[in-house]
Amino acid sequence: MDKVIALWEGSGLYNLELNALIMIAIGFLLLYLAIHKNFEPLLLVPIGFGGILANIPAAGLAYSAVEQMAHVGTVEQLNQLAAVLGVQVENYKQVLDAYYTAPAAVQGAAQELAADLNYANGMMYNFYSIAIGSTVAPLLIFMGVGAMTDFGPLLANPRTLFLGAAAQFGIFATVLGAVGLTSLGIMDFSVAQAAAIGIIGGADGPTAIYVSSVLAPELLGAIAVSAYSYMALVPMIQPPIMKALTTEKERAIEMVQLRHVSKLEKIMFPLVLLVLVALLLPDAAPLLGMFCFGNLMRECGVVDRLSDTAQNALINTVTIFLGLSVGSKLVADKFLSAETLGILSLGIVAFGIGTAAGVLMAKMMNLFSKQKINPLIGSAGVSAVPMAARVSNKVGLESNPHNFLLMHAMGPNVAGVIGSAVAAGVMIKYVSAL
Amino acid sequence: MSQAELINEGLSLMVFGMGFVFIFLTLLVFATGLMSKVVQTIAPEDAAPAPRKAAASITGAADPAADPVLLAVINDAISQHRARRKS
């Protein structure tokens, strides 16, 4: 009979808490959105599934050894842990708080204690520390994105880089929004957390994950989920803003055919970009360095095998681990909080402001220049490649059925990728200097 | 950190960050333009292949879409047709 009771007490049903149940439901919701509604399925399927795995009761897949020990250990073991941390505590939450804030040496001692007592890191925790904790996965994805990016439209019309710069305004306006909410007492974000939330406005998944893994790992789950969900919603978020800010006549502007770009120019571009990054902003070097490397492999034409791997097999492999690792951050006690709602609402504001800033910048450039540009391509400055460019094309066709803006919009679109990586570098630099 | 300080940090991050993004991308615009000019003068690529393509069209190119001259003629004809229909 004792065995039966032990089995029952070890079952998921016995250990199920309401929070975990809600998170599992959210995991199923993400799977539904990905599979039925086709919302960024490549990422939301692994993220949703990872979220379910991470919340399986009593399995503790997303916990480190010390967290496992604090959650399921006996009172005696908890006291041992508290002694190592040098604190007097009553429940496991206080132990964990003490553990998170302890210096690295003390944390190491706690980890050794957990290892001695036969506690091991959960599977999802290991995935997270290898893929995202080390920042390897977002950087490899960025290399793959570089290998997939054609800078031809940008090189044919370099002015479109300004549109990519303007659209980053969404990032910084959202940072201001986050600290504003904090000073009003509605939320509680530090500057580092505000910066990580703002980067959602860059509409660039790997950049957002990279920045939040560096600045605010505790918010990574919410930030990644909101970044990828809103990227899937770009075709719904952007058109109303674009139409509100432009006149019918402006939307119908036809742009001149793009010039031919030679192969040598395409090879030189990633090198020029790399030199500029090295000279001006070493903090953006991990992101833009990998991006330039990927693009050079694509354009140089002598390493087609490597380029092919970077943009197909490798990026797919990494995406699996990245998605599962993000899912590991969807564990109930880290995700279910008022902050997550704040992040979701700030994220959509960031997208909207970025779109508006890009369109307004295009209109401003038209005031000063003879060669008119269609303001609709400004909205493509929020990366979200190639979705945002397709939206520009579609809205343009509604006003003028002979107006194909897709190639013109790819310029600001890839400029947005560079812009958000630069913005990420600036924020990391600024926050770590505080 | 006090509330006023926090807002100040947010504001200065916005000004500093946005300023830097613009400076960086402006420099990139100039560097890219310069690079393109240098490449086009040192190793002009457009001049050589164009006549070859034109020659191919005279001998009857298989793919009309690959022929810039024919394409230009077709485009022109289409726009004339449209202009006539509008009036």
Instruction: Assign B54 a pLDDT band (cuts: 50, 70, 90).
Output: very low
Chain A neighbours among B 24-53 (CB < 8 Å)? 24-29, 31-33, 35-36, 39-40, 43, 45-46
Question: Do residues B37 and B59 both lie within one domain?
Answer: no
Q: Which tens digit of pLDDT belongs to each residue from A267-309?
A: 999 999 999 999 999 999 999 999 999 999 999 999 999 999 9
Q: Please indicate, yes or no, whether residues B6 and B34 belong to a single structural domain of this protein.
A: yes
Task: Give the separation between CA A30 and CA A313, rounded to whole angstroms.
Answer: 25
> Which regions of chain A are under pLDDT 70?
none
Q: Confidence class of residue B65 from pLDDT cuts 50, 70 and 90?
A: low
Give yes or no for residue B56 having a pLDDT over 70: no
CB contact B78 to A (< 8 Å)? no
Residues B82 and B43 in one domain: no
Q: Do B25 and A176 touch (CB under 8 A)?
A: no
* Residues contacting A81, CB < 8 A, separation 6+: A66, A69, A70, A73, A95, A99, A110, A113, A114
Q: How many independent structural domains does chain B possess?
A: 2
Contact B10 A155 (CB under 8 A): no
Shortest distance, CA A196 to any CA of chain B (angstroms): 12
Residues B35 and B23 grouped into a single domain: yes
Within this chain, do residues B1 and B20 fall inside the same structural domain, yes or no?
yes
Whether the per-residue pLDDT at B75 is higher than 90: the answer is: no
**How many Cβ atoms are within 10 Å of B44's Cβ, its own excluded?**
10
What is the C-alpha separation between A259 and A314, in angstroms, rounded?
33
Are B3 and B24 part of one and the same domain? yes
Query: How much is the pLDDT for B51?
Result: 46
Query: What is the chain A residue with the closest CA to B36?
Result: A265
Q: Which pLDDT score, from 0 to 100, does residue B53 have? A: 45
Query: Vertex B17, ends B13 and B23: CA angle to 5°?
Result: 150
Predicted confidence (pLDDT) per residue in A321-341, tens digit: 999 999 999 988 778 888 899
Chain B partners of A178 at a C-beta cutoff of 8 Å? 10
Count other Cβ atoms within 10 Å, centred on residue A77.
Answer: 16
Q: Do residues A84 and A110 touch, judged by C-beta distance below 8 A?
A: yes
Q: What is the ipTM of this complex?
A: 0.89
The domain of B77 spans 50-87
* CA-wise closest residue to A335 among A226, A428, A231: A226
**Which of A183, A430, A434 lies nearest to residue B3, judging by beta carbons?**
A183
Neighbours of A191 (CB within 10 A): 23
Q: CB atoms < 10 A from the CB of A233, how many?
A: 16
**CB neighbours (10 Å) of residue A20?**
20
- Nearest to A200, CA basis, from A184, A220, A218: A220
Same domain, B68 and B86: yes
Nearest to A43, CA basis, from A393, A349, A423, A330 = A330
Asked whether residue B42 falls in the same domain as residue B6, the answer is yes
A301-to-A307, A309, A315 alpha-carbon distances in Å: 9, 14, 19
Written as six digits, the tokens of A250 are 């402006």
- Note whether A35 and A41 are within 8 A (CB): yes
The C-alpha atoms of residue B51 and residue B80 are separated, in whole angstroms, by 27
Same domain, B14 and B1: yes
Are B62 and B34 in the same domain? no
Which of B2, B12, B13 to probe the A interface (max A CBs under 10 A)?
A: B13
Same domain, B41 and B54: no
CA torsion A196-A202-A203-A209 (nearest 10°) is -30
Whether B3 and B41 map to the same domain: the answer is yes
Considering chain B, what is the average pLDDT of its residues?
78
